[in-house]
Amino acid sequence: MPIIEFKGRIIPWEEGAIMLLRGANHVIKFDARHDMDARPQWSPAGHVNHGCHPNCAIKKKRGGLWLTSIRPIEQDEELLIDYDFELGEEFELCRCGHPSCRGLMLRRKDWPKLRKLMSKVL
């Protein structure tokens, strides 16, 4: 179910990549060639944090990006999304505190690649 629309500027993905390299943390993939600069001053949805057991996801609907619920959300429960960073992007340690926390904000399908890379280094 849609909760709130992300607002912001649609920018070329190259500009989004530069912003991320400079430390921005509110750049969202919009489509194959564009990102959205979704800083919180444009939308409260920009305040959503990462969690390894999210209750929300970002979906493209009605020509925009929407925060949508993916499971029932309790009153006063924090809205969380899985940042789902790709291997090769800057990703961070996760401190969400959930019992099944993955430890990194890295998408699940990239864990085997990471293990393979780590086995070559260690």
- Tell me, what's the pLDDT at 116? 84
* pTM, to two decimals: 0.76
Residue 81 in 3-state DSSP? strand
CATH number of 2-121: 2.170.270.10
The full set of domain ranges for the chain reads 2-121
- Tell me, what's the pLDDT at 122? 66
- Backbone φ and ψ for 113, nearest 5 degrees, come out as -65, -40
- Tell me, what's the pLDDT at 108? 81
- Tell me, what's the pLDDT at 68? 95
Q: What is the C-alpha separation between 48 and 82, in angstroms, rounded?
A: 10
- Tell me, what's the pLDDT at 89? 66
Q: What is the C-alpha separation between 52 and 107, in angstroms, rounded?
A: 10
- Tell me, what's the pLDDT at 90? 62
Instruction: Please list the rounded mean pLDDT of every run of 10 residues in the chain (122 residues).
Output: 89 90 83 87 80 93 90 94 78 87 84 82 70
Beta bridge partners of 89: 87
